């Protein structure tokens, strides 16, 4: 079988109807069992949130906000619907620190689908080099492998000579971990005269350039990548088509303009925002802080879900100008005040080592001195800083998700 289940190949409209039909109950569950959402969604009628337009009107909770929310309400900031006990098997700490619950359901992070697409099958021995210490990555991969019927060697990180010895003794045929650590293990194995039995690999956690993928392939290792987070679990995964990343079946994914909750046009780069159906950690419109874009059409592998380009950078482009923080959300507010502006980007430079802000504005009909003055006044009111305004034809700004571009040099 080429697919994890038949849901991967169903009609796209059927998938959308099913996800949106599940949404009101998840909104109601979050309001009723997670104190933070009881406050954030207090004025929301869950039954009315049955389409993407209604979902887009709900507030975005960004990952960058969770640290402060968790400090104020330990351990999970009021966003979890479970406490200590049988429903919460483990608690992890990601950098921040951010604390995340792991529930008791098999394949809690839903990564089995991604491992299956990478060729993992029952009976494989998986050498898992993700950390089992503090962060959930090791457990994320282990629970997914177990769901497929694989056996797992919990290698963790470091101790390369001992790892190569175990590889020589046990002959695992599958690797899970970062691509850079697989390269290190292969180099150490060569040094020690060991020939690893790896034929498949599932990598995540860092960039996976084509050159490294091809180097693994030259050694008989087919390696695939995925995009997942400790909070959400699987978001999207690579398939044999190698055409972007296919979105998981159990999330609703949006791409929004950084600093806002406003969905961008199809194909435009923006922040990845995810709504989950996890009953234990029911994150609604969770802003990952990562940039990506939706690709047109369906994958040639036969999976019919949305595809994204993969990780394209960070959405939090907050910068400090003349001692004042300027946020992408403030630039979005400026644009909303002036409908003549279709897109904008704040360019910060420092000629003569003096900070300067210029708002580059795309317009359809061109700009005017009066419009420039009005925009500059809005900038001053919203950022408390003076800035210049420049007009560009529509389509001039790069489609890279940047709202603030800091070009300052101090050489």
CB 197 within 8 A of CB 219: no
Q: Model confidence over 360-375: pLDDT tens digits?
A: 999 988 889 999 999 9
**Which residue, 359, 326, 353, is CA-closest to 408?**
353
**Residue 29: which pLDDT band, with cuts at 50, 70 and 90?**
very high
- Give per-residue pLDDT as tens, 368-404: 999 999 999 999 999 989 999 999 999 999 999 999 9
Distances in whole angstroms, Cα of residue 119 to Cα of each of 75, 238, 242, 247: 37, 11, 14, 18
In sequence order, what E strands does 277-355 have? 286-292, 294-295, 307-308, 319-321, 324-326, 341-349
Span 140-164, average pLDDT: 97
Instruction: Answer yes or no: is 365 within a domain.
Output: yes
Q: What is the pTM of this model?
A: 0.86
Question: Which residue segment(s) compose the domain that 362 sits in?
Answer: 319-406
CATH of the domain at 390: 3.30.300.30
Percent of residues, the chain, with pLDDT higher than 90: 84
Q: What is the pLDDT of residue 312?
A: 86
Tell whether 170 is covered by a domain.
no
In a domain, 336, yes or no: yes
Query: Considering the domain boundaries, does residue 299 fall inside one?
Result: no
pLDDT of 323 higher than 90: no
CA-based nearest residue to 224, from 235, 239, 212, 214: 239
Q: Say whether pLDDT at 96 is over 90.
A: no
Please give the residue that has the higher pLDDT: either 318 or 118: 118
How would you list the strands of the sheet with 174-177, edge to edge? 151-154, 125-128, 174-177, 200-203, 222-229, 233-237, 245-247, 307-308, 294-295
The pLDDT value given to residue 26: 98
- For residue 123, the tally of other CB atoms under 10 A from its CB is 10
Q: Using H for helix, E for strand and C for coil, what is the string for 35-100?
A: HHHHHHCCCCCHHHCCCHHHHCCCCCEEHHHHHHHHHHCCCCCCCCCCCCECCEEEEEEECCCEEE
Whether 348 maps to a domain, the answer reads yes
Distance CA(334)–CA(175), nearest Å, equals 49
Query: Is 326 in contact with 385 (CB distance < 8 Å)?
Result: yes
> Do 306 and 244 touch, CB atoms closer than 8 A?
no
Residue 262 predicted with pLDDT over 90: yes
Phi, psi of 192 (to 5 degrees): -95, 0
- Is a pLDDT exceeding 90 seen at residue 318? no
Query: Phi and psi at residue 345, in whole multiples of 5°?
Result: -140, 130
CA distances from 360 to 238, 241, 340, 343, 355 (A): 36, 38, 13, 8, 16
The answer as to whether 395 is a domain residue is yes
The pLDDT value given to residue 411: 59
- 296, part of any domain: no
The confidence band for 410, taking pLDDT boundaries of 50, 70 and 90, is low
* Confidence class for position 58, pLDDT limits 50, 70, 90: very high
Largest separation between any pair of C-alpha atoms in the chain:
76
Burial of 411 (0-12, 13-18, 19+ CB in 10 A): exposed
Supply φ then ψ for residue 191, to 5 degrees.
-60, -35
Q: How many domains does the chain have?
A: 1
Q: Is residue 201 part of a domain?
A: no
Q: What is the pLDDT of residues 290-307, one digit of tens each?
A: 999 999 999 999 999 999
């Amino acid at each position: 079988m080429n697919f994890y289940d038949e849901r991967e190949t169903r009609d796209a409209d059927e998938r959308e109807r099913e996800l949106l039909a599940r949404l009101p109950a998840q909104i109601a569950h979050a309001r009723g069992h997670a104190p933070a959402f009881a406050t954030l969604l207090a004025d929301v009628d869950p039954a009315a949130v049955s389409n993407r337009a209604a979902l887009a009107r709900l507030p975005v909770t960004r990952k960058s906000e969770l640290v402060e929310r968790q400090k104020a309400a330990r351990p999970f900031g009021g966003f979890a619907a479970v406490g200590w006990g049988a429903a919460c098997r483990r608690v992890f700490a990601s950098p921040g620190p951010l604390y995340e619950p792991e529930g008791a359901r098999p394949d809690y992070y839903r990564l089995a689908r991604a491992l299956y697409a990478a060729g993992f099958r029952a009976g494989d021995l998986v050498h898992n080099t993700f950390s089992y210490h503090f962060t959930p990555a090791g457990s994320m991969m282990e629970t997914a492998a177990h769901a497929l019927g694989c056996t797992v060697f919990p290698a963790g990180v470091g101790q390369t000579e001992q790892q190569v010895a175990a590889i020589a003794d046990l002959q695992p045929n599958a690797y899970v971990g970062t691509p850079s650590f697989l390269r290190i293990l292969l180099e150490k194995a060569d040094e020690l005269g060991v020939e690893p039995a790896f034929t498949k690999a599932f990598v995540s956690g860092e960039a996976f350039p084509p050159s490294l993928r091809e180097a693994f392939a030259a050694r008989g290792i087919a390696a695939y990548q995925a995009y997942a987070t400790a909070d959400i679990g699987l978001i999207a995964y690579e398939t044999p088509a190698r055409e972007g990343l296919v979105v998981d079946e159990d999330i609703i994914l949006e791409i929004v303009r950084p600093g806002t909750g406003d969905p961008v046009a199809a194909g435009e780069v923006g922040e990845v925002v995810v709504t989950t159906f996890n009953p234990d950690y029911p994150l609604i419109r969770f802003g990952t802080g990562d940039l990506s874009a939706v690709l047109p059409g369906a994958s040639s592998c036969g999976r019919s879900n949305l595809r994204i380009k993969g990780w394209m950078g960070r959405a939090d482009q907050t910068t400090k100008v003349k001692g004042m923080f300027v946020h992408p959300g403030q630039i979005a507010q400026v644009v909303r005040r002036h409908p003549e502006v279709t897109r904008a980007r704040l360019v910060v430079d420092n000629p003569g080592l003096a900070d300067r802000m210029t708002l580059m504005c795309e317009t359809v009909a061109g700009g005017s001195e009066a419009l420039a003055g009005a925009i500059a006044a809005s900038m001053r009111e919203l950022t408390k800083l003076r800035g210049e305004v420049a007009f560009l034809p529509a389509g001039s700004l790069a489609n890279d998700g940047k709202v603030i571009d800091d070009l300052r040099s101090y050489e």
